[in-house]
Amino acid sequence: MDHAPDIRLQPGKTIPVGPSFWPRLLRRETYQQDAAAFLLHNAQTFGDLIYFEAFGRPILQFNHPDLIQEMLVRDAPHHHRNLVMQRSKAVLGEGLLTSEEPLHMRQRRLAQPAFHRQRIGAYGEIIAGYTEKMTALWATGTTLDVRAEMLLLALRIVGKTLFDTDVEHEVHSIAAAVDSFQGFLPLAFLPLSTQIQRLPLPAMRRIRRGREELDTLIYRMIRERRADPRDRGDLLSMLIASVDEEDPTASMTDRQVRDECLTVLLAGHETTANALSFALWLLAQHQEIQQQLAQESAAALEGRQATAADYPKLPLAEQVFAEALRLYPPVWVTARTAAENYEYRGMTIKKGTMLVAPQFAVHRDPRFYVDPLAFAPARFTSAIKATRPRYAYFPFGAGSRQCIGEGLAWMEGVLILATIAQMWRLSPVPGGPNTIAISPSVSLRPKGPVLLHVERRTR
């Protein structure tokens, strides 16, 4: 299919059309739409390149795969990280999510070996083992909050794969730190955000307290590993042992290791848990697809624990996870900030302009997805994927900042879904909602518990 970008300019100007603040305010839309719904409405109303302002900041919204490729790949040298990530350095430090070039590329080279396919493959048994251990505690015929279960499961997995340790004692501290970071988003957009961060506000106290508790945990692990640097098969071992290919004498400092560990710990487990929560809810709503997944899993695993070697035998599990990431991408918008003035398609993008590419809107574009709101994992068979533009689907970002942990996320998603489907049948709670409420903050998460009825399958 060939769809050229639909770019509409304001009459007599080189600025694209977009929503006006005051008409939206008078219609009460500013209070009725969340940010994800707002960006989706923009894409459906104004085309593929949209201009608007928020808190006095100019914003350009990119909704077409060609424009997204230009923004995230071709024009990346013109950009800094987005405003939220810039101001999140107070929490995350100079990790891969927040650092700028050239530091970012050096960090990526140092961290990359920790995410090589062979290393990730070794985590398959950990993923499946923790999943079986968790589900063994489920009682058939009961109702569970699967989001709470997935958060705990993902946290256990990241604790084991990152630190080779059980994080049970730190679960509540880590969960509180994640929640406080989610609450940081509204502050990051305010004009005096930097000054607000220094105030003794309850939100900032929670963020600082969470950071201090996590620092205590992470630095203790680093000290122990420096004292005993043998490779324990975890990401921390790889980060400590990593050296820069361009400068073999250079390795990560304790602060750099801390920043990367904190990034993986906070960002990695929460986004994966959200994706799995949405996927399980979708499967519960679509019993036929769930039954097909159960049959695939039973045939591939034959009642045993999954390993990384089973991944190629689970194409439907991969398609289900991919479709959940399409409909409910945890990274629901990718943003950058123009670091300088530059020319773009006949206009000048000025320094400081925020550039946003909303996965939530692009993944629901009917030009690239027939009946886009339907749950249809078959969209991700090889033949159908080949008909779509590359950047019509980008749940893990794109370009030099594409998520370094993408391979681990896919391994978790596929093996967890297959393990659960082999053993359990999920169904909606009688009288429960047939839609799932979302909360678009730093990540897209379900709004409230995700309650499902569980029944053990009989072989």
| Position 409 in a domain | no
Residues in a beta bridge with 451: 145
| Position 374 in a domain | yes
Strands (DSSP E) contained in 83-199 are: 142-145
The answer for 135, left when phi > 0, alpha when psi is -120 to 50, beta otherwise, is alpha
317: tokens are 């599990």
Q: Is 403 annotated as a binding residue?
A: yes
Cβ atoms of residues 236 and 163 within 8 Å: yes
Helix 254-263 × helix 103-111 angle, to 10°: 80
Q: Given this model, what pLDDT does residue 92 score?
A: 63
CB-based burial label for 230 (10 Å; 0-12, 13-18, 19+): exposed
d(CA 128, CA 165): 16
Q: Which residues of the chain have pLDDT under 70?
A: 1-2, 21-33, 82-104, 107, 114, 167-173, 175-201, 203, 243-250, 459
CB atoms within 10 A of CB 106: 18
| Position 123 in a domain | no
Q: Given this model, what pLDDT does residue 246 score?
A: 63
Chain mean position to CA 97: 12
Q: Give the sign of the dihedral formed by CA 44, CA 382, CA 308, CA 125.
A: positive
Cβ atoms of residues 38 and 46 within 8 Å: no
Cβ atoms of residues 275 and 321 within 8 Å: yes
Find the length of the chain. 459
CB-based burial label for 422 (10 Å; 0-12, 13-18, 19+): buried
d(CA 43, CA 64): 9
Bridge-based pairing state of the strands 247-251 and 451-456: unpaired
Cβ atoms of residues 326 and 37 within 8 Å: no
Q: Given this model, what pLDDT does residue 31 score?
A: 45
Q: How many helices (H) and strands (E) does the chain have?
A: 22, 14
d(CA 209, CA 181): 11
Closest CA to 161 of 129, 219, 133, 120: 120
Cβ atoms of residues 319 and 22 within 8 Å: no
The CATH number linked to 386 is 3.30.43.20
| Position 280 in a domain | no
Residues in a beta bridge with 312: none
| Position 143 in a domain | no
- What tens digit of pLDDT does each residue of 334-387 get? 999 999 999 999 999 999 999 999 999 999 999 999 999 999 999 999 999 999
| Position 369 in a domain | yes
- What tens digit of pLDDT does each residue of 125-167 get? 999 999 999 999 999 999 999 999 999 899 888 888 877 777 6
Closest CA to 447 of 435, 438, 456: 438
Cβ atoms of residues 435 and 327 within 8 Å: no
Backbone angles phi, psi at 318, to 5 degrees: -65, -40
Q: Given this model, what pLDDT does residue 220 score?
A: 87
Q: Given this model, what pLDDT does residue 421 score?
A: 97
Question: How many separate domains does the chain show?
Answer: 1
Domain limits at 86? 1-90+332-394
Backbone angles phi, psi at 29, to 5 degrees: -70, -30
d(CA 146, CA 224): 34
| Residues 122-135: b if buried by 16+ CB within 10 A, e if exposed | ebbebbbbbbbebb
| Position 147 in a domain | no
Closest CA to 297 of 278, 279, 310, 280: 310
| Position 150 in a domain | no
Bridge-based pairing state of the strands 334-338 and 79-81: antiparallel
